[in-house]
Amino acid sequence: MALDGKAALVTGAAQGLGKSFSEVLLQHGAKVAMLDVAEEAGKSLKESLDQRYGADRSLFIPCDVQSQQQFKDAMQKAVDTFGQLDIVCNNAGIVDERAWEEAVSINLMGVIRGTYLALEHMNKLTGGPGGVVINVASLAGLGPLLSAPVYTATKHGVVGFTRAMADASKVSGYGVRFNLLCPDFVQTNILSALTSSLGPFAHLRDSTKHLMEKHGILDVSQVSQAFLQLLLDQTKDGEALMVLGNGSQYYPFPSLE
Ligand SMILES: NC(=O)C1=CN([C@@H]2O[C@H](COP(=O)(O)OP(=O)(O)OC[C@H]3O[C@@H](n4cnc5c(N)ncnc54)[C@H](O)[C@@H]3O)[C@@H](O)[C@H]2O)C=CC1
Ligand SMILES: CCCCCC(=O)CC\C=C/C=C/C=C/[C@@H](O)[C@@H](O)CCCC(=O)O
């Protein structure tokens, strides 16, 4: 299978998109370390996956991506268990326009933390095997959502950071590729909790609901198939794959050179 012998780590893996990414990785032969703060959901998922794929193919590690020590220890445990890491998906994220510092801490700082920790283990200049990092942004990382300005900021930050890391890696010779997944609306807990997530911008929820009606709502399986497409295309580096109701397409970033 396409990912035989590969070892992956996914954050926010216990539910929603991260759960779907973990299942696709296992279906295609990879071993997966699943990190999440949702311990019960994570343990339940691990039990289910053990039945389908065997206990040695996956690992659930309770981890808050806001904690440097927890994230460092979790990634080290994954490397100790699987021998190395070839794939890291920084997926964990929230929408919370009231507790906006937490949204920045998870959505942006957590992605930066996971990217830097992944590079520590993958960097060919320091004896690593190389690899690929896929950071989960959003269409809100490419265009603003007026009902969620901080969420928009975190996702725009993930886009800019990931593209800069791809360029830095190419010039430095790290042997690590960095790409972005930018899904449209997807039916997960984030969408279900939307009305309570917008804080001072809740009066603008109808604008986003109209956008959801216009764009449609994706199933997690549509996004995880795009995740696999991005993962398997080794020509992609510094690219953003948009996942839309009518298919997936790479965002045409303008050249500023
Ligand atoms: N659902 C949607 O419409 C879209 C979601 N996204 C992004 O996809 C990613 C996954 O979100 P969904 O699966 O939709 O939401 P979800 O709420 O179903 O799953 C998010 C997972 O992340 C975990 N998590 C939250 N904070 C964490 C932390 N501090 N440390 C570790 N794990 C943590 C949660 O426990 C949960 O299992 C997020 O980055 C989100 O911004 C992007 C575009 C669209
Ligand atoms: C706040 C809900 C976030 C839900 C999780 C997501 O990341 C979904 C993002 C999906 C689509 C985002 C589209 C952004 C479009 C903008 O470029 C602009 O066209 C929208 C203008 C209207 C508006 O701001 O509502």
Residue 45: what are its φ and ψ, rounded to 5°? -65, -40
Pairing label, strands 58-62, 87-90: unpaired
Angle, nearest 10°, between helix axes 220-232 and 16-27?
50
Residue 16's closest CA among 49, 48, 41, 39?
41
Residue 134: predicted pLDDT: 99
Residue 1's closest CA among 20, 25, 23?
25
Look at residue 195 and tell me whether its pLDDT is greater than 90. no
Active site residues: 151
Residue 162: predicted pLDDT: 99
Please choose from 190, 194, 223, 227 the residue to mutate so as to test ligand 1's pocket, defined by most ligand atoms within 8 A of CB. 190
Please choose from 145, 189, 242 the residue to mutate so as to test ligand 2's pocket, defined by most ligand atoms within 8 A of CB. 145
- Summarised one tens digit per residue, pLDDT across range 18-71 is 999 999 999 999 999 999 999 999 999 999 999 999 999 999 999 999 999 999
Q: Is residue 202 classed exposed, middle or buried when 0-12, 13-18 and 19+ CB atoms within 10 A define those classes? A: middle
Look at residue 245 and tell me whether its pLDDT is greater than 90. yes
Spacing, Cα 252 to ligand 1 middle (Å):
25
- Would you put residue 254 in left (φ > 0), alpha (ψ -120 to 50) or beta? beta
Spacing, Cα 91 to ligand 1 middle (Å):
6
What ipTM was reported for this prediction?
0.97
Spacing, Cα 151 to ligand 2 middle (Å):
10
The mean of the pLDDT values for the chain is: 98
Question: Cα 99 to the chain's mean position, in Å?
Answer: 21
